[in-house]
Amino acid sequence: MTTDEDSSPCAGGDPYALALHTGHGPVYLRLEDGCRIRMPVHRWYAHPTVADESVLNRCVGPVLDVGCGPGRLCRALLGRGVFALGVDVTPRAAAHTIALGGIALCRSVFDRLPAEGDWQTVLLIDGNIGIGGDPRALLDRCIQLTAPTGLLLVEVDPDDVEERCTARFEDIHGHEGPPFAWARLGAPALHRIAENLDLSVTDQWRYSHRRFLALGRQDSASGPR
């Protein structure tokens, strides 16, 4: 998970940056309405879960992992012999990915990226559909990055929600990081946005409380995998 603002939490002492440094929380996402969501920091550093494996099994290389964090997914793909590049706007996240054996760039998904239009799979996992606070703009950008037959694999909120807000990271003592634009999106909202962008939902599945969808261009010959 990552933010996509110049003021994104990466400075020393920020709760999010501290969680990345230590590899454990607790750290929370505090939304505008006061809702506080605990971030699964332990999962970001652990081996892929069964739910993660369900995503990895659907990946065709080359893979771009947007908001890669410490890089557990792109590192797992490299271990399978699938080329994967992580992208994260937070320097500490990209550095951790590299230190742990992955490949990553410290860059925004909206910046110029390598091999634009050639990625077979683009990942938006761990809530990263919220990057930048505008899911439509993010999906539009990600489809620009994919090959004509490529897929976007997106993790959505398990609830039927469509929310854009300003959020902050917060530690257990209530110390806050800087604000950033964020969004939460459930499957029905993603279906609506995808249709508006001429994208088809080619697959959808869930494991426990986590829910995922695969999106492809409507004129693509690729079907469900």
Question: In this structure, is residue 100 part of a structural domain?
Answer: yes
Tokens of 148: 């004509």
CB atoms within 10 A of CB 80: 11
Question: In this structure, is residue 208 part of a structural domain?
Answer: yes
3-state SS, residue 97: helix
pLDDT band per the 50, 70, 90 thresholds, residue 15: confident
Question: In this structure, is residue 8 part of a structural domain?
Answer: no
CATH code assigned at 38: 3.40.50.150
3-state SS, residue 86: strand
- Give residue-wise pLDDT tens across range 55-109: 999 999 999 999 999 999 999 999 999 999 999 998 989 999 999 999 999 999 9
Cα dist from 184 to 37, 102, 181, 217, 223, whole Å: 11, 28, 11, 23, 27
Question: In this structure, is residue 186 part of a structural domain?
Answer: yes
Question: In this structure, is residue 2 part of a structural domain?
Answer: no
Structural domains in the chain (count): 1
Question: In this structure, is residue 7 part of a structural domain?
Answer: no
Question: In this structure, is residue 142 part of a structural domain?
Answer: yes
Tokens of 64: 């771009």
- Give residue-wise pLDDT tens across range 29-43: 999 888 899 998 888
Question: In this structure, is residue 225 part of a structural domain?
Answer: no
Identify the top-confidence range among 52-56, 96-100, 175-179.
52-56
Predicted local distance difference test score (pLDDT) of residue 223 = 44
Which domain, by its residues, includes 84?
15-217
Predicted local distance difference test score (pLDDT) of residue 18 = 83
Closest C-alpha to 20, from 10, 30, 29: 10
